[in-house]
Amino acid sequence: MTIACEFELNGKKEIFEFNKVAKQANGSALLKVGDAVVLATVACEFDNPVSEDFTPLTVQYIEKTYAAAKLPGGFVKREGKPNDFETLTSRVIDRSLRPLFPKGFVYPTTITVMVLSADKNVDLQTLSLNAANAALYTSNLPIKKSVCGVRIGKIDDKLIVNPTQEELSNSTLDLYVAGSKDELLMIEMKSISSIEEKLHKTNEIVEDNLVNAISFAQDALKEANISYENSFEKACKEKAQIELVEFTIDEKIISYVRDNFSNEIKEAIKKLAKSERATQLKDVAKMIAKNEYCISNEIDLNTIYEAVSIVKKEIVRAMIVKDRVRADGRGLKDVRPISIETNILPSTHSSCLFTRGETQALVIGTLAGAKDGQMYEVLTDKSTSMENFMVHYNFPGFSVGEAKPIFGVGRRELGHGNLAKKALESTINKNFNDTIRIVSEILESNGSSSMATVCGGSLALKAARVPISDLVAGVAMGMVVEDSNYAVLTDIMGLEDHDGDMDFKVAGTKNGITALQMDIKLGGIELKVLKEALLQAKEGREHILAIMEEASKDIVSSKALPKVEEFPIDSSKMMIVIGKGGATIKEIIEKYSVSIDLDRDNGIVKVSGENEQKISDACEFIKNLVNNSNSSKSQSKNIDFEKLYSVDEVVSGRVERVVDFGAFILLSKGGEGLLHISKISDKRVEKASDVLSIGQEIEIKVLKVQKDRIELGMN
């Protein structure tokens, strides 16, 4: 029997339906908001547990194009590889729901979310998380909490819960928060730039205002989750009786390792502070395995290694919380040494080698015309969209000393690139319409590689002469909590990320935060602690920005950087530049080896290329083309050709326009005449443009003349 739950939350009506579709899954929910319909299912293999200590959870978010009454784009009319938005949304759902699974849950689980009907006024990311939560909470899996997501916008300094797409386009803030009724689990945030009084505004947010916005989101989460838990109870299936596997090691073995080999582990920790690899710990485990105690008790190497890892974690956390010192000797607020080199690759438009400790990012910037961006489809839009700012993050195995080939982009790489894009995007002047591609090659990694991408990316933008409001720096923060004591860490390395309780990344300018991403492992965080962490991140960010500012003074523009010239023309004259079927603009591009972008809305012609003289010549040619077109047309209207020209007279002229049926010639004594394609040559001419080009000076014969028109032939 179908069970329906209806809510009125944040001004929107939500209808959940259970036990109506996908009834063979462990849990399913159909969620309807407006015209949007999302199906979420949970499937679990209780009879196929994994033998490793991790939660085997897979999340898939899938958009069906029929949901918006569309066919898939491209040649293949079937949904295939997930697009970036689908992958990023899958990550959001995964990071929000994974903390709900109890420790020791080793049963492969897949959460599938399908968009069956779309509504452009409904946030599909929020809707999908809430549907997935409903399916999971009411399933027979041992899940005891409800989690949902809310998006917060800010218009005219007023916070809005779950804004529509139109409202979000006018917002200066995009804050996405997921949590239960009493805990925050995941936060993503970016500032949104705007144009006010013709001036670009980055709209960074200061720490106090961000905490207030998160608190506002927390209130909305609490209200929603209380309603969900109370109403979903009637739809909950009986929880399956399953075993939660404890991956424990005999305490005697741990004590033996702790009592006898702590010094060796501490030495290994010092080396671990320089790398994300665990080679040193494995060496310690191998050394311990040769000990008589381990041999006589037949303790295998894997068990010893696990015991060493446990003791290592205890030591690292105790150093941080009690001694207030870190594995590499830094204080809690210290940033690792930074070195910066710009434009080290001579044939690129811009480049920056950013090194922080043992993390190194080579970031490259490439510029192109407005039409060279990445085309993509948005489910709720009928037309194709264009992405003109891209950040691509690559993480090869050699960056952490692993011997593995480079394959396609993974979810992690896509997520890190997206975070860096959020951090940088709002600083780029909204009036800058060219395409920008930033590529970050991680050459070494020991934590904070996405934030190294932000720093290097900001300098690469500046080196490429992209108009940015300010430099952006990013820093990865961590936290370790032991009982009532805690420590906030600035610029965490891989070791601290692995053994810590919270990982959050903050990026921004000297004026405030442009992007934030937070994942909380310990089941929630108090707002006062969050504020303390944000203020400590600000100190670290300002320290990094000061170093970046100094480095930016040494930037020498790359010789490969494209030269650009732009000028205004009457929008109504754009077709003169384009020509029939694009013939004129193609001819100009080929003749002068330039790229041309036409902004019809603002009447701007932008010409770019590698050779300044050719750019200048192309611009002059276009200006003359437009001006001569105006004058020749006005002259031809008022001219009496019979008074100026006679049949068989040979005159000089210049090719003004080339069309399919011939060319229009501006005559030396005034007026414009047609040179038909049949009169260009004695031989057959397929295309007038094969023989004539705009601006070409030629000698022509007058074949026929009347008062208001003249016919021409090649001399």
Burial of 411 (0-12, 13-18, 19+ CB in 10 A): middle
Q: Please tell me what DSSP assigns to residue 677.
A: G
Smallest Cα–Cα separation from 391: which of 675, 676, 88? 88
Smallest Cα–Cα separation from 260: which of 288, 230, 283, 229? 288
Q: Assign domain 338-552 to its CATH superfamily.
A: GHMP Kinase, N-terminal domain (3.30.230.70)
Return the CATH number of 563-624, one of 3.40.50.300, 3.30.450.20, 3.40.50.10140, 3.30.1370.10: 3.30.1370.10
Dmax over CA atoms of the chain, in Å, equals 119
Smallest Cα–Cα separation from 525: which of 227, 211, 220? 211
Return the CATH number of 3-235, one of 3.40.50.1970, 3.40.50.620, 3.90.45.10, 3.30.230.70: 3.30.230.70
Return the CATH number of 641-714, one of 3.30.70.260, 3.30.70.100, 2.40.50.140, 1.10.3080.10: 2.40.50.140
**pLDDT at res. 158:** 96
Q: Does 3-235 match 563-624 in CATH topology?
A: no
Distances in Å between the alpha carbon of 237 and those of 102, 111, 216, 712? 18, 17, 33, 88
Q: What is the pTM of this model?
A: 0.84
Smallest Cα–Cα separation from 449: which of 408, 503, 402, 487? 503
Distance CA 604, CA 571 (A): 8
Domain boundaries, the chain: 3-235, 251-321, 338-552, 563-624, 641-714
Each residue's pLDDT tens digit, 358-372: 999 999 999 998 888
Low-confidence stretches of the chain (pLDDT beneath 50): none
